[in-house]
Structure 1
């Protein structure tokens, strides 16, 4: 073993001892479990120092191709392949995702729709027929009351 590797091992042992002593000082632990705890902490530190991650990132594969996920009448969820008019509620209740989180997870552009195009158009036309989205009309000025006509005064 080289000197540098030996120093790394010594450093890891010291770090493990510090972490375990801090943990044991604040948490009750049976004496028989102490060696296992030291081993687990040392293994975790060694894995961290070696650059080995605990979980390898899993390549995501959508349930349907991204191009086919948006149709005029519905949007297909990339998570489970189900058809929806609006994805926002489904994503939040089943997967705990926001629309921005969903877009980031699947690498979608910021303008990727969360509502089917025909549904959005129908809702928009309904809102317009109800009068939403218009500026209120300026109130009409009331007609001034007609002034009382008086006779001209005759000079006396």
Structure 2
């Protein structure tokens, strides 16, 4: 039996590789009025539905990002994202935790709605609202931004 276990594990390896090859990472570049951000999201799960002449895809993932403000400061971002592409429409809903250098964390939701001009590319308008949950009353507690996002699937 001990000789059989490694053979069984090795035989399951191609099946695992095939299921992971269908999933793809997503990279987004976002330009906001006072900042530029880049994000990398790896999939937790990805579902692809192919109808004749139509491709629908649902992607759920987590990732990391970096935002560079025009004044020179930076913020590290943690992302949880779910997006769907169907009939040239792209929609994404996510949660963002942002940690600026020398400041407390901001957390909040974001929404992207846009146009999927290629099965692997989308251009969308992004809106996010981040709040600092445990800040004193004298510091800024909210960051709301609109931006333009270009998302690529690799």
Same fold judged by TM-score > 0.5? no
Which structure features the higher share of helix residues? 1
Q: Which has the larger radius of gyration?
A: 1
Greater RCO (CA < 8 Å, at least 6 residues apart) = 2
TM-score normalised per structure 1: 0.21
Which structure features the higher share of strand residues? 2
